[in-house]
Amino acid sequence: MSSFFIKKRVISAAVNKGDLKRKSNADDGKGRSKKFNKRADEEISSDSENERAEPNRKQPDNEDDEIEETPQEKKLRLAKLYLDQLREEEDKKAEEESFEADLIAGRLQDDLLEQKGKLQRLIAKDLIAPDPEEVRLLRGHKLSVTCLVITPDEKYIFSASKDCSIIKWEAESGKKVHRIAGGRKGTEEHHVGHTAHVLCMAISSDGKYLASGDMNKLIMIWDPETCKHVYKFTGHRGAVSGLAFRRGTHTLYSASHDRSIKVWSVDENAYVETLFGHQDMITGLDCLSRERCVTAGGRDRTVRVWKIAEESQLVFHGHEGSIDCVQLINEEHMVTGGDDGSISIWTVNKKKPVCTVKKAHGSHGNTGLEQPYWVSSVAALHNSDTVASGSHNSAVQLWKCGQGFRGLEPLFSIPVTGFVNSLKFSNSGKFLVAGVGQEHRLGRWWRIKEAKNGLYIIPLKRQAKEQEVVQ
């Protein structure tokens, strides 16, 4: 083996010293090679680099015979190349597996923090206010928009109104895809759809079911893709004011002005159970993946967390007036708004708010008798530090939650005229949708004539990476 490699080195050295030139001169022009002369024979050694060949020893007729590999040597060389290639592939595969393992570990850690209610993605610092011309208005409802949902894939938006209709919109283009017309009062027997103000909507996390609830105590289940009616749930004794699907399931929670929460199995078209506890009409409801939901109790001034499996509830106090809206930030933190003009952040571990901002949207009225603007809607970008609130002070306000949700700082506001009755972030946080009307969703206390009934799609712009590095 060693002599083979020495032989190759010697031959290479000889070729570099002029043998190539002699070989070309030896060619007779017809593809035949003449024999090398005796002097050339003396310059090439077959044993070692330092030894000289015997002067009378003849060189083989063809130099190619001297440098050709034997079959065994060729097999060894190819085997070595193959082994090197295998090692490279294994090293590359190991690097990829290590990268994937890191990704999976990161996702598992996020999932664990999310389940514990401790995940807080810090993205608020990167958000910047969009230009007014970038905010789009979608119009199609005749009366005030009361509620909306965004499909999990963010392609469509569903909105409902006091005109009893539901409209499906294409988020990117703003085109109206489908309209489920509302019916007149008294046509309930033959009209497929709502015949009273629609107050709330919810969509399942897989996009299979859409639910809507109205003032007429009814819950309608729809197929979001075709907008066809699927089921009708009855049982509440008052207006249905809140709906939410448990994430990852088709279990539906509903809240009502009759002060109860009901649990439904949409897959089986079945009623499950009823929960009691609130002392006044329920104004809002939300849930995530745990088997529990959170409700706002209106003028009983309580927020309640309902532990379905344990058949128990947690009661929280803090607002000075009616609590009109509630949204979960993660599994253990929530944000509420009320007609006292304040926004509060709560944790399930404390009976009082972690932080409260009073007069979050300012105040109006005569000097000395100033009244705060009611907070009519709140929204949270799940598992992040970003929340939004709406009122009728001509602006949607975005907020940054402090570390551990212990504070609220205003980020920026977006001009919107009218009552902001519903707010929803898209799952990715790319945009925020505001449902706006001339009237408050729960009543007709007064009317803002200059407001336009419709949806405002607000893009959430982020600072460029270069700016992030500088800051």
Cα–Cα distance between 169 and 140 in angstroms, integer? 10
Structural domain includes residue 119 = no
**Confidence tier at 155 by pLDDT (50, 70, 90):** very high
- Least confident residue range of 126-135, 230-239, 361-370, 382-391: 361-370
Burial of 173: CB neighbours in 10 Å, binned 0-12, 13-18, 19+: exposed
Structural domain includes residue 104 = no
The reported pLDDT for the residue numbered 366 is 62
Cα–Cα distance between 313 and 294 in angstroms, integer? 9
323 and 462 inside one domain: yes
155 and 64 inside one domain: no
Residue 116 has pLDDT above 60, yes or no: no
60 and 186 inside one domain: no
The reported pLDDT for the residue numbered 342 is 96
Higher pLDDT, 121 or 470: 121
Q: Where does a domain end: 68, 84, 110?
A: 68
Which residue matches tokens 């310059």?
43
Residue 283 has pLDDT above 80, yes or no: yes
Instruction: Identify any residues that bridge with 256 across adjacent strands, giving them in sequence order.
Output: 240
**Are the C-beta atoms of 120 and 401 separated by less than 8 Å?**
yes
Task: Record the tokens describing residue 274, joined without a space.
Answer: 């009823």
- Could you tell me the pTM of the whole model? 0.74
Higher pLDDT, 142 or 111: 142
137 and 23 inside one domain: no
Mean pLDDT taken over the chain: 84
Q: Where does a domain end: 48, 68, 88?
A: 68
The reported pLDDT for the residue numbered 99 is 73
Return the CATH number at 319: 2.130.10.10
Q: Where does a domain end: 25, 40, 68?
A: 68
Q: How many folded domains does the chain comprise? A: 2
- Tens of pLDDT, residues 156-171: 999 999 999 999 999 9
Higher pLDDT, 20 or 332: 332
64 and 198 inside one domain: no
Structural domain includes residue 42 = yes
Q: pLDDT > 70: what percent of the chain?
A: 79
Structural domain includes residue 458 = yes
Helix, strand, or coil (residue 439):
coil
Residue 318 has pLDDT above 70, yes or no: yes
For every residue of 108-169, DSSP letters joined together read HHHHHHHHHT---B--GGGEEPPPGGG-EEEE--SS-EEEEEE-TTSSEEEEEETTS-EEEE
DSSP structural state of residue 404: G
Structural domain includes residue 78 = no
Residue 76 has pLDDT above 90, yes or no: no
Residue 64 has pLDDT above 90, yes or no: no
Structural domain includes residue 93 = no
208 and 341 inside one domain: yes
Contacts of 153 (CB under 8 A, 6+ apart): 207
257 and 390 inside one domain: yes
Query: How many of the other CB atoms lie within 10 Å of CB of 11?
Result: 17
The reported pLDDT for the residue numbered 392 is 94
239 and 312 inside one domain: yes
Residue 4 has pLDDT above 60, yes or no: no
* Mean pLDDT score, 449-463: 94
Structural domain includes residue 82 = no
**Are the C-beta atoms of 455 and 436 separated by less than 8 Å?**
yes
Higher pLDDT, 279 or 33: 279
The reported pLDDT for the residue numbered 72 is 84
11 and 132 inside one domain: no
- Least confident residue range of 269-278, 381-390, 394-403, 443-452: 443-452
Q: Which domain holds residue 349?
A: 124-470
The reported pLDDT for the residue numbered 113 is 60
**Are the C-beta atoms of 322 and 302 separated by less than 8 Å?**
no
- Least confident residue range of 88-102, 209-223, 390-404: 88-102
Cα–Cα distance between 234 and 5 in angstroms, integer? 90
**Confidence tier at 103 by pLDDT (50, 70, 90):** low
52 and 197 inside one domain: no
N residues, the chain: 471
Q: pLDDT > 90: what percent of the chain?
A: 65
Residue 212 has pLDDT above 80, yes or no: yes
Q: Element (H or E) spanning 366, and its range? A: none
228 and 373 inside one domain: yes
- Tens of pLDDT, residues 201-211: 999 999 999 99
* Mean pLDDT score, 107-135: 76
Higher pLDDT, 339 or 444: 339
Structural domain includes residue 99 = no
* Mean pLDDT score, 179-194: 88
- Tens of pLDDT, residues 216-268: 999 999 999 999 999 999 999 999 999 999 999 999 999 999 999 999 999 99
297 and 411 inside one domain: yes
Residue 53 has pLDDT above 60, yes or no: no
* Mean pLDDT score, 1-21: 41
Task: Record the tokens describing residue 468, joined without a space.
Answer: 């992030």
